Amino acid sequence: MDKSDIKNLFQNLKIKPNKNLGQNFLINREVLFQIAKEAKIIPKDKIIEIGPGLGVLTKELLDIGAYVTAIEFDPQLMTILRKQLGNYPKLKLIQGDALDEIPKINIKDKKIIANLPYQITSPFFRKVLGKNNLPSKIVVMVQKEVAERITAKPHSSKRGFLSVMVQLYGKPKIISIVNRESFYPVPKVESAILSLKVKPLNKKTKKQLLLKMVQAGFSQKRKKIRNSIAASLQIEAADAEKIIKKAGINPDNRAEDLEINDWIKLLKYFSKYFN
């Protein structure tokens, strides 16, 4: 489906792309192939697709032979999806907010493909990675800036809570940058295809406490780690410094400097403050 097809479809239905929902429809077929290739879709794969839009990628996945559960928020787009793809027996359509629907469905060992608006990227990863049963792979289209934040390495100023939260489960990588002209309407920013092969946490790791530890560290991002943790946990900076040193970490570091294993070490020594 190219730009003219989408325009004609919307004109016939007397609807417009919803800017508030971040609706920018992919018209570059090469990008579709990139996403499917990166997700390594094979027949009988079970896919969760979030934000299928007009169903262009959905059709590609179904034609490969995958089982697809597609979650679409916009009821007008859902009407289009039902009309165009309703005859596919391997397709299940859910009309609703993906952030509400993800907790209700089984995503264990499934592949998740999504075109994510900026405002739901962080909540999306929290919902998906917060579940006990995890997907096998996540391939998402996000704003380029967000992809750079998620993949930021230690010592990068772009590194933040979202970076660490995602990297706890593997090594996210940017597959390619997608230019603005690949979408209709043309968005104001470039996008990127981001891929994550999901690796479960060690069973002994207390997931929720670990995320609280990371939040404490990034609570005052520009300050040294001893000060941000002290302020967040309401303890003396000198006490926080002693504990951080016991963990084998330099208290003069900032949160962005820490490796994933550093956060796990910090939780071991600060866990009593989260009870």
Residue type for position 218: F
**Whole-angstrom Cα distance, residue 266 to residue 270?**
6
Which of 188 and 110 is assigned the larger pLDDT?
Answer: 110
- Around Cβ 9, how many Cβ atoms within 10 Å? 15
Residue 196 has pLDDT above 90, yes or no: yes
Please write the tens of the pLDDT for every residue from 95-105. Answer: 999 999 999 99
- DSSP letter at 254? B
Q: For residue 26, what are its two tokens?
A: 């992919």
User: Residues 228, 218: contact at Cβ < 8 Å?
Assistant: yes
Residue type for position 103: P
Those residues with Cβ within 8 angstroms of residue 143's Cβ, 6 or more apart along the chain or in another chain:
118, 121, 189, 190, 191, 192
Name the percent of the chain lying above pLDDT 70: 100
Residue 23 binned pLDDT confidence (cut-offs 50, 70, 90)? confident
User: Residues 119, 22: contact at Cβ < 8 Å?
Assistant: yes
Residue 60 binned pLDDT confidence (cut-offs 50, 70, 90)? very high
User: Residues 273, 243: contact at Cβ < 8 Å?
Assistant: no
What is the arithmetic mean of pLDDT over 30-46?
94
195: three-class secondary structure by DSSP? strand
**Whole-angstrom Cα distance, residue 196 to residue 173?**
7
Looking at residue 17, its pLDDT comes to 80
Looking at residue 8, its pLDDT comes to 83
Please write the tens of the pLDDT for every residue from 126-148. Answer: 999 999 899 999 999 999 999 99
Looking at residue 144, its pLDDT comes to 96
Please write the tens of the pLDDT for every residue from 76-88. Answer: 999 999 999 999 9
Segment of 10-14, 50-54, 258-262 carrying the highest mean pLDDT = 258-262
For CA atoms 222, 223, 229, 230, the dihedral sign is: negative
Query: What is this structure's pTM?
Result: 0.93
Please write the tens of the pLDDT for every residue from 227-269. Answer: 999 999 999 999 999 999 999 999 999 999 999 999 999 999 9
Residue 13 has pLDDT above 80, yes or no: no
Among the listed ranges 13-22, 26-35, 251-260, which one has the minimum average pLDDT value? 13-22
Those residues with Cβ within 8 angstroms of residue 259's Cβ, 6 or more apart along the chain or in another chain:
154
Residue 202 binned pLDDT confidence (cut-offs 50, 70, 90)? confident
Those residues with Cβ within 8 angstroms of residue 220's Cβ, 6 or more apart along the chain or in another chain:
227, 228, 231, 232
Looking at residue 93, its pLDDT comes to 98
Looking at residue 63, its pLDDT comes to 95
Domains and CATH numbers, the chain: 3-197 (3.40.50.150), 207-274 (1.10.8.100)
CA 187 from centroid of its chain's CA atoms: 19
29 closest CA partner among 7, 49, 59: 59
Residue 118 has pLDDT above 90, yes or no: no
Those residues with Cβ within 8 angstroms of residue 225's Cβ, 6 or more apart along the chain or in another chain:
217, 244, 249, 251, 252, 253, 254, 255, 257, 258
50 closest CA partner among 131, 130, 111: 111
Looking at residue 6, its pLDDT comes to 81
State the DSSP string of 45-112: -EEEEE--TTSHHHHHHHHHT-EEEEEE--HHHHHHHHHHHTT-TTEEEEES-HHHHGGGS--TT-EE
For CA atoms 34, 38, 44, 47, the dihedral sign is: negative
